[in-house]
Amino acid sequence: MSAKIIVGYIFLQEEIMGKFTVLNHPLIQHKLTIIRKKTTGTNEFRQIVGEIGGLMVYEMTRDLPLKNVEIETPIGKTVQKELAGKKLVVVPILRAGLGMVEGVLQMIPSAKVGHIGMYRDEETLKPHEYFFKMPPEVEQRQCIIVDPMLATGGSANLAIGALKKRGVTDIKLAVLVAAPDGVKAVQKENPDVDIYAAAEDEKLMSNGYIFPGLGDAGDRLFGTK
Ligand SMILES: O=P(O)(O)OC[C@H]1O[C@H](OP(=O)(O)OP(=O)(O)O)[C@H](O)[C@@H]1O
Ligand SMILES: O=c1cc[nH]c(=O)[nH]1
Ligand SMILES: [Mg+2]
């Protein structure tokens, strides 16, 4: 294969696979280490999951389009920037995704919130949808799905599919900890969805937990175990 064909092939692969970005800002990494510790209690865990959610969305929205607007300050008229383009919807996958919402809304207070309820069967690891509620005209908005854990990728793919069925075309996924299997599964089934993570961990264990991970995110957030 000539170099040109190889480069073309890699480019094509990247396009087909979708984009995966690890947001390794030092503040994000530091906070993630705190919530990984088994000694971190519910209160601190919940607060920091929200904080990381906010920092991640701050990084993810760097490329939001701006437009010029004429305004008047107390001193006089001026042309300044404001956000243009699609409005955002934050979509937590219940339960654990709820932990990231507050932090995201601190960055984007005008964002709407849609909810998708999903749980993983502990035996089969297959996800089951039990709730779906979106704001009106969701298909005209950009949806940012938030969930702390991307393990097999089953829940994320089901959530993305549920949004696409309702006509949503602009979707991003933000997770705290991603397993390589989950990243691959979403890239394969939904190559148009960009994935952002605070970390990509070593592996997915046979019981469905991510190693080293942070344990069961939902249970740690809500104190249910
Ligand atoms: O990538 P997957 O293999 O689908 O696993 C990831 C899912 O598992 C967890 O939810 P869980 O089913 O524990 O529900 P919970 O948030 O109510 O605890 C997590 O919050 C994800 O939604
Ligand atoms: O490690 C994992 C995997 C899935 N869900 C969690 O909460 N933790
Ligand atoms: Mg759980």
Domains and CATH numbers, the chain: 20-222 (3.40.50.2020)
The response to whether residue 176 sits with its C-beta less than 6 Å from ligand 2 reads no
The response to whether residue 20 sits with its C-beta less than 6 Å from ligand 2 reads no
Q: Ligand 3 centre and the CA of 154: distance in Å?
A: 13
Six-digit token string for 36: 């990984």
The response to whether residue 209 sits with its C-beta less than 6 Å from ligand 2 reads yes
Atom from ligand 1 closest to the CA of residue 96: 16
Peptide bond into 120 cis (omega under 30): no
The response to whether residue 151 sits with its C-beta less than 6 Å from ligand 2 reads yes
**Residue 177 and residue 211: Cα distance in Å, rounded?**
10
Distances in Å between the alpha carbon of 137 and those of 10, 37, 155, 172, 207? Answer: 37, 41, 23, 17, 39
Tens digits of residue pLDDT in 5-15: 444 444 444 45
46 is catalytic: no
181 is catalytic: no
The answer to whether 164 touches 187, Cβ cutoff 8 Å, is: no
ipTM: 0.98
Report which protein residue has its CA nearest ligand 1's atom 17. 95
* pLDDT tier at 16, thresholds 50, 70, 90: low
36 is catalytic: no
Tens digits of residue pLDDT in 126-158: 999 999 999 999 999 999 999 999 999 999 999
Q: Exposure string (b/e) for 81-102, b if CB count within 10 Å is 16 or more?
A: eeeeeeebbbbbbbbbbbbbbb
Catalytic residue among 33, 166, 219, 224: 219
Angle, CA 133 vertex, CA 126 and CA 21 arms, to 5° = 60
Atom from ligand 1 closest to the CA of residue 125: 3
Instruction: State mean pLDDT over 188-212.
Output: 98
* Mean per-residue pLDDT of the chain: 93
Contacts of 107 (CB under 8 A, 6+ apart): 54, 57, 58, 61
Q: Residue ranges for the binding site for 5-phospho-alpha-D-ribose 1-diphosphate?
A: 95, 120, 147-155, 216
Instruction: State mean pLDDT over 90-118.
Output: 97
- What's the count of helices (H) and strands (E) in the chain, helices before strands? 7, 13
Q: Is 63 helix (H, G, I), strand (E, B) or coil?
A: coil
141 is catalytic: no
Instruction: State mean pLDDT over 170-185.
Output: 98
What is the predicted pLDDT for the residue at 7?
Answer: 46
The answer to whether 179 touches 209, Cβ cutoff 8 Å, is: no
The answer to whether 95 touches 218, Cβ cutoff 8 Å, is: yes
Of the chain, the percentage scoring pLDDT greater than 90 comes to 90
Q: Among the bound ligands, name the one nearest to the CA of residue 95.
A: 1
225 pLDDT exceeds 90? Answer: no
* pLDDT tier at 95, thresholds 50, 70, 90: very high
